Structure 1
Amino acid sequence: MLLVPGDPLNARRVDPHFAAQAAAARELGVAVARIDHDALTVDGVPAAADAVYRGWMMTTAQYGGFAGALGERGVALRTGPESYGAAHEFPGWYGALQSVTPESVWTTGGELRDLVAVSKQLAEGPAVLRDYVKSMKHYWDEAAYIPDVADTAAVERIGGRFLELRDDAFAGGFVVRRFEEFVGAEARTWWVGGRCVLVTPHPDTPDELPERVDLIEVEPLVADLALPFVTVDLVRRLDGAWRVVELGDGQVSDWPSSRDPKELISALFQKPQA
């Protein structure tokens, strides 16, 4: 079964952002049920042994409650709360992919003094700031890029602005990632059961798909995480090496507008070979 958010303006319809995916699922014979994402209620969802959510982001705590409510209705989410947290929050996957992603350190909580302290672990040089879930890359100069982690005033200024922009959505703690120079567009790779099933453009650049995405180093590392459904965003570094920008839970990873959603639904619900 595919679970999708209902339209906030009409509870009898699917949220327009996910309507094409719901239609693709029905066309392929996959049952579809709507949830109220704002209230996280699951009234009317029928029992299912294998349910996959495709919808808006939830916090790890919200997802745990969501999974519990579905469980009471006899619905088993393919991605359990522990797996969701491991994919959704940066510390959950960084250790496994450390060799293929920029060096990073993080805090627990949003104290600026802690941000300054962990930044010093990267020594001098530029870095990129985010929290456990999200960056503010669209506010690059004021809330993402730190020209030099040794500049305490700059670290505090950028961290403070990041907190202002994230506000109540700030998740977990600060993450400071060593800056690496990337070239070209990102690719979004889709993994089901530890296997890459699709390579698509990143939703931010839906018409730009890098050529010859190399998964040789990444594949065994993602497989070892043993997560049911994730996305891994990859980009070339200036020296040509493929680097992991982000790993995320596939249920809340956006789909590029340039691709047919039937590709995704088919990959998620394909029947195993006899």
Structure 2
Amino acid sequence: MLLLVPADVLRPRRPDEHFAVEADAARAAGIDVAVIDHDALTRGDDADRAVSRVPGGSDAVYRGWMLRSEQYAAMADALAARGVSLRTSPQQYRQAHELPGWYDAVRPHTPESVWTAGDSRTQFAQACAKLGAGPAVLRDWTKSMKHHWQEAAFIPDVADNDAAWRVAARMRELRDDDFTGGFVIRRFEAFTGAEVRTWWVRGDCRLITAHPDTAEHPPPAHLDVTAVSASIRALRLPFVTADLTPHQDGRWRLVEIGDGQVSDRPHTTSADDLIKALIA
């Protein structure tokens, strides 16, 4: 396995500081490491140059900053030209990275959701009507603005069209060029504790950690993920994360699927543990 990580902007032959410890852990485990130019990928101007430091002929896993689906596809094509195959294909990355790709498989375990393809007010109103009256949480296909909860994430009642649209318009403004796909309106559910991040490799849960946003809150010692296992396996994806949180009724609910390559590791989990989970 070859581990690909973003290069340091000032020292392009070295891994970005945020991923350097994972690169060190990979080398200690006997895994080769190569760097890519993340900025070149996100500019979209030269994917071939972005991967020019990657040796050919390897089976690769990316661990780095988030990429849009089309940027990941460009990286995969440029790597393929060098004889490097990403374990997660562009189609699989999109499926894990964007909510419409994973929602149906995990529907019983996650809040009811509807979405648009685009950002028009008409489409948004139609989606709200489909969901029905009541509180909801807003995001786009890849990300919410939960740190702007009152102004750009929480909708007290989707039946109040004008108020709901003010939240949507503000979220769209804050996401700016990063807005992806369309609006996603999710039925609000009352959660009672910190999220837990679970890491799945080829359908098996290999690691359970705190969520990076609440790294100081460790996961329960014996969290049972059996209820969601079949649904996550049904996705047939090589490396994903699933974020779970406790509902006020005692159930653990799934709030997010993400591609494991771009899911952040909480600082309270060692890089060695993550690398061991990847190669187990």
Is TM-score (shorter-chain normalized) higher than 0.5?
yes
CA distance in 2, matches of 1:171, 1:48: 33
- Alpha-carbon separation, structure 1, partners of 2:204 and 2:191: 25
> Given residue 154 of structure 1, which amino acid in structure 2 is its aligned partner?
A
Q: Within 2, Cα distance between the matches of 1:11 and 1:123? A: 51
CA contact (8 A) 2:208 2:219 kept: no
1:32 aligns with 2:33: yes
State the Cα distance separating 1:50 from its structure 2 match.
1.6
Q: Are 1:53 and 2:62 matched, yes or no? A: yes
- Structure 1's consecutive aligned runs of 4 or more residues displaced over 6 angstroms after TM superposition are none
1:218 equivalent among 189, 210, 228: 228
Equivalent-residue separation in structure 2 for 1:58 and 1:44 (angstroms): 19
Higher strand share: 1
TM-score normalised to structure 1 length: 0.97
Per the alignment, residue 253 of structure 2 pairs with 243
Percent of residue pairs identical = 56
- Check if 1:102 corresponds to 2:111: yes
Is 1:268 aligned to residue 274 of structure 2? Answer: no
Q: For the aligned residues, what is the CA RMSD?
A: 0.8
How far is the alpha carbon of 1:9 from its aligned partner? Answer: 1.7
Q: Partner of 2:46 in structure 1?
A: none
Shift of 1:96: 0.3
2:22–2:271 Cα contact (<8 Å) kept = yes
Distance in 1, matches of 2:224 and 2:133, equals 31
Matched letter for residue 25 of structure 2: A
Q: In the TM superposition, what is the alpha-carbon distance from 1:122 to its structure 2 partner?
A: 1.6
Q: Distance in 2 between matches of 1:17 and 1:112?
A: 39
Amino acid at match of 1:260: S
Q: Any residues of structure 2 matched to 1:1-274 within 5 Å, and which?
A: 1-40=2-41, 41-211=50-220, 212-270=222-280
| 1: CA distance, partners of 2:131 / 2:86 | 39
Superimposed CA distance per residue, residues 104-150 of structure 1 (whole angstroms, 9 cap, x where no aligned partner): 00000111221111111121110000000000000000000000000
Q: Distance in 2 between matches of 1:176 and 1:266?
A: 37
What is the CA distance between 1:215 and its match in structure 2?
1.1
Contact 1:5 1:55 in 2 (8 A): yes
Deviation, 1:210, is 3.2
Counterpart contact for 2:3–2:23, Cα < 8 Å: yes
Unaligned runs of 5+ in 2: 42-49
**Cα deviation per residue 1:218-243 (whole Å; 9 max; x = unaligned)?**
00110111100000000010001110
Separation in 1, partners of 2:37, 2:268: 27
Q: Distance in 1 between matches of 2:249 and 2:32?
A: 46
Query: Distance in 2 between the 1:103 and 1:209 partners?
Result: 27
The 8 Å contact of residues 187 and 233 in structure 1, kept in 2 or not, is answered as yes
State the secondary structure of the residue aligned to 1:159. helix
How far apart in 2 are the matches of 1:232 and 1:104?
17
Q: TM-score, normalised by structure 2?
A: 0.95
How far apart are 1:154 and its partner, in Å?
Answer: 0.9
Q: Deviations over 1:66-103 (max 9, x none)?
A: 00000000101000001000000000000000000000
- Which structure 1 residue ranges, 5 or more long, are not aligned? none
Aligned length: 270
**d(CA) in 2 for partners of 1:85, 1:48:** 24
Aligned mates of 2:153, 2:57 — CA distance in 1: 42
Give secondary structure in 2 for the equivalent of 1:39: helix
CA contact (8 A) 2:60 2:85 kept: yes
Task: Tell me the CA shift for residue 47 of structure 1.
Answer: 1.9
Per-residue deviation, residues 156-206 of structure 1 (Å, max 9, x unmatched): 100110111000100000000000000111100000001000000000111
